[in-house]
Amino acid sequence: MIDVVLCLTQEHDLNLVALALVICLTGSLATVQLFSRVQASLGYRRFGWIILGAVGAGTMVWATHFVAMMAFRTTAPVILDPVLTLVSLLAVIGITVPGMALAAGGRRWSGAVGGGVIGLGIAVMHYVGMAAYRVDGIVTWKLPYVAGSILLSIGLSAIAFHVLNACDRWRTTSAVAWLSVAVVALHFTGMAAMKIAVLKLGHGLSGMTIVTLATTTTVATLIIVGCAAISALIDGHTQSETYRRLRHMALHDSLTDLPNRIAFIEELEARFAIRGGYQRMAVIMMDLSRFKVVNDTYGHQAGDQLLAALAARLSSILRPGECVARLGGDEFSAVVSYDDPAELLDFLDRLTTASEAPFLFDRFTASIGANIGVALAMRDGFDPDALLAKADLAMYRAKSAHSKAPCFYDAQMDDAVRERRELVADLRRALEAGAFELHYQVQASMPTGEICGYEALIRWNDPVRGMIPPARFIPLAEKSGDIVPLSNWILRRACGEAARWAEPYPVSVNLSPMHLSDRGLVETVRSVLEESGLPPERLMLELTESAIIHDKDFALQQLRALKAMGIAIALDDFGVGYSSLEVLRSFPFDRIKLDASFVSEIEHDAQAVSILRSVAALGVTLNMPVLAEGVEEPAQLAIVTREGCVAVQGYLTGRPSRTLADPDEVRRVAALRPQMVGVEAVA
């Protein structure tokens, strides 16, 4: 050790030694940078970075050695063999290539093994370089020093690349330090191993030439190494930029730029992980109420425009602790962490206002609104999935209750879900067991009171639950996918029974929107008519506007095929929902059924009467007779008849029943009208 220190201090020009150190440190830093690129790339890119890294490291080692040799003071004449000097440079580069490849291998000891190979390369460089250094004198080598220098180089360089593979904050700094120490230790231990017995005095190179050579080498090396390091930096930056962009794309919804489901769940997990932060947290689910109408009426582009505008609005109302995400379709979600429940209510208020305020675009305007469900962390769930599921349930409750106010989750909702699930299972069993039956409600022409048909209405009398209203189980069957088999059964049964009636009355069968979009519908109807022997003219299918709006082109295609078979089509529940002229104009319906809600208002509401009058007039214009539904009172009958409805259906003329109505009785009831007094006053 003392020999090494003595050799360094007494036999070297310390200024040039300092220059060598600058090269060594800068070069080591560049080597570490380049190596990080090797680690971050694959395939031919990795190979390219290995070559560049080896050139950087090799040049650094070689130049350090070269400048340090310039710093070495000897009284003997010296010449440098140019070929061997070049070979020493190529040797270290050549050995560093496999060294770097090994070091980037990714296994636990890859760094140490590869680093060792690089250390060997450094040693080879040094001793080939020494062979190029021809001194006019007797050179003797102390072998233990030679061996020690080689081992030091291998060991220290192995440590340098081993620490680079660790996940330590200071790994770059310590790797630079270890690598520099490896190069320096090898060189000066190697120099201490060499003893020169001077035979004749003289000068190899003049002092001035040495300084010029050393400085030029340093500058050239720094340029080469610097360029390599800069390309590593640029590549690293570009890659992390690309990574950042990819990550943003993976975690954000492309249409609205809001966080997506994955990001939202990550956010929830992060919030659950915080301890001692906010005391409370709520997860909110939002489902837009009339979004589908906008999408169906104005097209998907309009729908997208609306979603983007809503997202911008929602983002603009956020305060610290609040986050909004789009989970897909028209489903938005939000999370808020708060200390005081008033903050939660305030956030819900802002969400409601933002979704309800109308949207004005060049091409259209829209008012949507949202159904909002809320679940509270720790009370309703202890992890993101549970909270999301509970908020979802609460949102469905808000939706089914048509509630504009946010709905908070409560445990009864789980019961409701279970009950619905059981009902669906029972419904399947009932269908197999043939537990359904059809009731028929009479429809009468006005003003004569002649029976003009019957509407088939399904009944489910469950032995345990009792009578279950269709308004309860039909929507369930639609959701569970059981509606098509159920609907087929209804068709078959209605046609079969009607074919056996004593009088050839038409029979009306309700068609669910989902059944209309079933590709097998037309074929089913055809085979049902054939089997039952019911003439197509006696069958009328009733459907609502929503059935047509859903997938208009296909719906109309189906309707035309049915009509071509001679089947009549009625538009049911007209006046509620869309009530669009567009639908009325798009298909020649055989009947418009005015929804019962109008008739129930008619006695007290002049506006209902004028709507009734307009619809009846529209029916005349479009050549579609209007039937008034839900007529319960003679007064209502009188008004609807006077205003132009050509048929009625309701409890007044007959309730739905297993048996058909008595024609005389229907005529008698229909004739009650003229006796009514005071009716005129309403209109």
512 lines the binding site for ligand C2E (CB under 6 A): yes
Question: CB under 5 to 8 A by kind: which of ligand C2E, Ca ion, none does 651 bind?
Answer: ligand C2E
Q: What is the DSSP secondary-structure string of 175-203?
A: HHHHHHHHHHHHHHHHHHTEEEEESS---
Which residue of 85, 260, 443, 510 would you call a contact of Ca ion, by CB under 5 A?
510
Question: Which one of ligand C2E, Ca ion, none interacts with residue 474, CB within 5 to 8 A by kind?
Answer: ligand C2E
296 binds Ca ion (CB under 5 A): no
- Which one of the spans 75-83, 133-141, 160-168, 455-463 is the region binding ligand C2E (CB under 6 A)? 455-463
Q: Which of 114, 129, 449, 630 binds ligand C2E (CB under 6 A)?
A: 630
Which CB atom, from 204 or from 485, has the smaller least distance to ligand C2E? Answer: 485
> 257 in the Ramachandran plot: left (φ > 0), alpha (ψ -120 to 50) or beta?
left
Position 649 contacts Ca ion (CB under 5 A): no
C-alpha 577/C-alpha 387 separation (Å) is: 33
Neighbours of 661 (CB within 10 A): 20
Task: Tell whether the torsion through CA atoms of 446, 449, 454 and 459 is positive or negative.
Answer: positive
Which CB sits closer to ligand C2E, 305 or 641?
641
Which range, of 34-42, 370-378, 468-476, 560-568, touches ligand C2E by CB under 6 A?
468-476
Task: Give the per-residue SS3 of 532-566.
Answer: HCCCHHHEEEEECHHHHHHCHHHHHHHHHHHHHCC
From the DSSP assignment, how many helices (H) and strands (E) are in the chain?
25, 20
Site mask for Ca ion (CB under 5 A), range 518-547, x = bound: ------------------------x-----
Contact 540, 569 (CB under 8 A): yes
Strand-strand pairing, 647-649 and 436-445? antiparallel
Beta bridge partners of 133: 80
In the complex, the smallest distance separating the C-beta of residue 402 from ligand C2E, rounded to whole angstroms, is 17
Q: Which does 512 bind (CB under 5 to 8 A by kind): ligand C2E, Ca ion, none?
A: ligand C2E
Contacts of 103 (CB under 8 A, 6+ apart): 35, 38, 110, 111, 113, 114, 115, 117, 118, 161, 164, 165
343 binds, options Ca ion, ligand C2E, none, Cβ within 5 to 8 A by partner type? none
Q: Decide whether 17 or 490 has the Cβ nearer to ligand C2E.
A: 490
**β 365-366/359-360 pair status:** antiparallel
Binder to ligand C2E among 31, 256, 260, 441 (CB under 6 A)? 441
CB of 361 to Ca ion, least distance (A): 34
Using CB under 6 A as the binding rule, whether residue 243 contacts ligand C2E is answered as no
CB-CB contact of 562 with 524 (8 Å):
no
In the complex, the smallest distance separating the C-beta of residue 437 from ligand C2E, rounded to whole angstroms, is 11
Is residue 116 a contact point for ligand C2E (CB under 6 A)? no
Q: Can residue 458 be called a binding residue for ligand C2E (CB under 6 A)?
A: yes
Q: For residue 481, state whether it binds ligand C2E (rule: CB under 6 A).
A: no
Residues 555-594 that bind ligand C2E (CB under 6 A): 572-573
H/E run at residue 612: helix 606-622
- By a kind-dependent CB cut-off of 5 to 8 A, residue 545 interacts, out of Ca ion, ligand C2E, none, with none
Q: Which residues pair with 281 in a beta bridge?
A: 337
- Asked if omega into 447 is within 30° of 0 (cis), the reply is yes
Q: Does 640 bind ligand C2E (CB under 6 A)?
A: no
- Largest Cα separation within the chain, whole Å, is 148
Residue type, 632: E
Smallest separation (angstroms) from Ca ion to the CB of 439: 12
Q: Which does 59 bind (CB under 5 to 8 A by kind): Ca ion, ligand C2E, none?
A: none
SS3 381: strand
CB of 457 to ligand C2E, least distance (A): 4
**Contacting residue, 207, 299, 341, 469, with ligand C2E by CB under 6 A:** 469
Considering only 256, 427, 650, 666, the residue that binds ligand C2E (CB under 6 A) is 650
Choices 112-120, 123-131, 556-564, 624-632 (CB under 6 A): range interacting with ligand C2E? 624-632
What is the distance between the alpha carbons of residues 611 and 291, in angstroms, rounded to a whole number?
A: 27
Q: Among the candidate windows 11-19, 232-240, 266-274, 627-635, which touches ligand C2E by CB under 6 A?
A: 627-635
180 binds Ca ion (CB under 5 A): no
Whose Cβ is closer to ligand C2E: residue 12's or residue 593's?
A: 593
CA–CA distances in Å: residue 556 to residues 240, 367, 408, 517, 587:
53, 28, 41, 10, 7
Of 57-65, 364-372, 467-475, 577-585, the segment contacting ligand C2E by CB under 6 A is: 467-475
The pairing of beta strand 591-594 with beta strand 626-629: parallel
Q: Map residue 287 onto helix, strand or coil.
A: strand
Q: What are phi and psi of 196, to 5 degrees?
A: -115, 125
Can you say whether the dihedral through the CA atoms of 162, 168, 172, 175 is positive or negative?
negative
**Tokens 């004739």, located at residue:** 671
Binding partner of residue 296 among Ca ion, ligand C2E, none, CB cut-off 5 to 8 Å per kind: none
Question: 489: which DSSP letter?
Answer: H
Are 66 and 81 in contact, with CB atoms under 8 Å apart? no
CB of 67 within 8 A of CB of 214? yes
Residue 170 interacting entry, from ligand C2E, Ca ion, none, C-beta within 5 to 8 Å by type: none
Task: Report the partner that residue 441 touches, choosing among ligand C2E, Ca ion, none (CB closer than 5 to 8 A by kind).
Answer: ligand C2E
Q: Which listed range, 50-58, 150-158, 317-325, 464-472, lies at the site for ligand C2E (CB under 6 A)?
A: 464-472
Compute how many residues bind ligand C2E; rule: CB under 6 A. 21
User: What span, in angstroms and rounded, lies between the C-alpha atoms of 382 and 392?
Assistant: 15
Is 573 a binding residue for Ca ion by CB under 5 A? The answer is yes
Told to check if 497 binds ligand C2E by CB under 6 A, we report no
Instruction: Report the alpha-carbon distance of residue 288 to residue 294 in Å, rounded.
Output: 11
Residues that bind ligand C2E in the complex, under the rule CB under 6 A: 441, 456-458, 469-471, 474, 487, 490, 510, 512, 572-573, 596, 630-632, 650-651, 656
Residues that bind Ca ion in the complex, under the rule CB under 5 A: 510, 542, 572-573, 629
